[in-house]
Chain A
Amino acid sequence: MTTDAPPEGPAIEVAGLHKSFGDLEVLKGIDLTVRRGEVVCVIGPSGSGKSTLLRCVNLLEQPTAGKVTVSGTEVTDPDVDIDRMRRRIGMVFQAFNLFPHLTVLGNLTISQRRVLGRGKAEAERLARAHLAGVGLGDKESAYPAQLSGGQQQRAAIARALSMGPELMLFDEPTSALDPELVGDVLAVMRKLADEGMTMLVVTHEMSFAREVADRVIFMDDGQIVEEGPAEQVVTDPQHQRTRLFLARVLDPAAAEVKEVG
């Protein structure tokens, strides 16, 4: 799809990443490598810095220190054309962030046309293919407000895919959804993983992490506490903090009683 850099080496390489907001240090030295085609889930309590880590990969947040390399190009290099790099990095947000003034088709074609310079016909053909892929083939002329949350998030995934990205970042993609709508979005993400897409996913969906991810990373207090094969981290965590977190997430009612008592 793109000729910017040779597709070799790891998809994402994070080294010594620090990020502070004022006096608050959110990331305290993160090292992380995501191989091409790998699906990595990041879990952890809120405020642990996992979303910030994700947002540092495509430089929506400017790291305070450290290096982030995507497909061999250092995105933290001040001289890098970040707009050009972001075309290759799809991002899906917790709040969907579809453009409300455009139809679903318009949402999928606007950057293809304005950023990649594709013609109208080609952009629409690709957009329709991706909409069909997420099960929204009949919604192209709807406005985002006319869609359910689950449909909006699937449209947002299709929007990112229509740029032909090499990897996808998901920032708590199902956290804003009603429980009965989560499944459709996870199914789309699972399909994407099966097709070999490189994915870095911040999520609270433990079953998704266990079944789909190759690797799970547990973050707490701005640091990676534990990482390993998905099955192992989720079902047999080595660290006390991971165990506490998982107990709380998997059985919230029981954990609360313990805390109070």
Chain B
Amino acid sequence: MKFEEPTSDNLFDRAMVIGKATPRIDGPLKVSGQAPYAYERHDVVEDQLVGYPLGATIGRGRITAMDTEAARNAPGVAAVVTTLDIDPLEISSFNNARLFGGNEVRHYHQAIAVVVAETLEQARHAAEMIDVTYEEEEGNFDLEKAWQNGLGTDEADAETGNVDEAFASAEVTLDETYRTPDQSHAMMEPHSSIADWSDGENMTVWTSSQMIAWARKSLAETFDIDEDRIRVESPFVGGGFGAKLFLRSDAVLAALGSRAAQRPVKLTLPRPFIFNNATHRSATIQRIRLAAGQDGRLTAIEHEAAAHEFEGGGNEENPTNLTKLFYAGANRRVKHHDVVLDLPESSSMRAPGEASGLMAFEIAMDEMAEKLGMDPVEFRILNDTQVDPMNPDVPFSDRNFVDCLKVGAERFGWSDRNRKPGDTRDGLWMVGHGMAGAYRGAPTLTSGARVRLERGHLTVETDMTDIGTGSYTILAQTGAEMLGLPLEQVTVKLGDSRFPASSGSGGQFGAASSTAGVYAACVALREEIARRLETDDVRFEDGNVIAGNKAIPLEEISADAEITAEDTMEFGDFQDDLEIGTFAAHFVEVGVHAATAEVRVRRMLAVCDAGRILNPVTARSQVIGGMTMALGAALSEQLAVDKPRGYFVNHDLAGYEVAVHADVPDQEVIFLDTLDPAISPLKAKGVGELGICGVAAAIANATYNATGIRVRDYPITLDKMLDRLPETF
């Protein structure tokens, strides 16, 4: 099925199941510890061995020798495969850093060996016994230096109007530079796989992946084998946030270990290994210039940024992308420098580009509002746009950003905010309020599904994944709605390469795309039922199919044999002529300790515009999850780069501080009652990445409002404010 034009009125506008607050259907399995994650699948294949990885301990260079004799002879060891034992594996079209093979070391903790043994204890210790000799090479690990060299060079990526003239003649201008650090996804389940490639022919991988079809294709390319020989399963994923979009070393090492030991091998990346072995969000440096008239209308916007990537690319952290679209303004120039560094591979992390871009841009907007003497909410309302400002012929399909701002200001009590920085105290705490806008695109990807109706029970099969997003539940809701069944009569099976390929989970495209895929399959099923009833006028209600004035129970229709249908939703070109996005306004109250400059968030509000909300329960969870991750990004998360040695130093969960329970205050989420007919038949857009966008800047702005100290270098830790606080408090 192809989605060729905006949706008109359809059954979802009279929904019985979609849009209703629905507890997760996979909830009982998860709260009882019975949901099977990749490493735990004792039952899928017998005789599993345990693999353990070894990582390189230099940032760049060559391996000249590896002594594995002790490891091979260690108790319980079944196989040792080193990077010198095999030719460099192909770099799949989804990867940039090679995952294994050859003597070249391109980043710290690059996998250079796998030890396979009867037990974890044996494999882990044997891996430590491998002696590696390196020839170290000079690496380039310094983004700051690259930024200084690159600033102002090269052609703009996009430009409209006359930016230089607009700045020269502007009444009010801003020119500031902002920094965001490298960040780690730090999902709770480490990258894990069980691989059975015992015969060196057919490969089965039980893994933790956001994208089944990509994982399969990557495995095929990496090992140069036919895709048909590979099966991938990932029914439960313990968090991803982009970390599990692409094939990682866990599956590769497990497969190599399995082939060598001729038995299935399971392997999980040790937590201290993940930060440098796997991917991360790149640090950014961003110079933002704004120009406006005294009336507050932006006349020019310039955004120049740098982030680092692994040689060959892969970095999606382009913070200037959103700047092309978010606010009005006739003159605009954006330029992004992707700087090649010898750090581990930068890749997608939740809202790549928008997350770091808005961390900077929404501080700049706050600073500009202050320069103009305007309320930052009013300033944003004034500069709203309903069209792509660089291509005014392209409208936003449905943009209600102004409503987000207005509803949020009202709900938060913005009019009662602290107005003068540093003016409100609560004991030793300085209290401040801040807000920010948020924008995140709403892409869609082709998505397929198969549905089976048997004795009135519907089973949905798709290789879609549920990484905590609630896919199981919204797909069940979609199927129930389409067939007029109660939710209990729908089973959803996910994450298996034997099922039709879906969008997968990522880029905030999963919910919109995969529900559309299930819709398409259900339409096909309905048509098949109609065909069997020899009519083209059918409705599905209360477990019945209603043809004319006759209601036939679906149980009866599918009593003798299962009725199956399969289809794929493709999204038409008309979407290219529209900007389809999601929007939010965030409001935050913080306290800053007057003596120590510790920042603690006191309350948070998000107002979101994302079309139809398929399940308010899971959508709200997505947004508060984003807000919480952004809180960490604002206040504590930073992968510290050791510049001489070229690696992320704080590579564990004690050193890399994500938000904990005690950091997170009351969080309120309001979804505007909007519909976007241009996105899909369900008129619903994703919210999983919208939730992280803009929030950190709202915290930054609130911190400024509390203290009068502007920090433009994330995370906003106390050491950056301490010497600017008043002597006495």
Do chains A and B interact in one complex?
Answer: no
Q: B residues engaging A (CB < 8 A)?
A: none
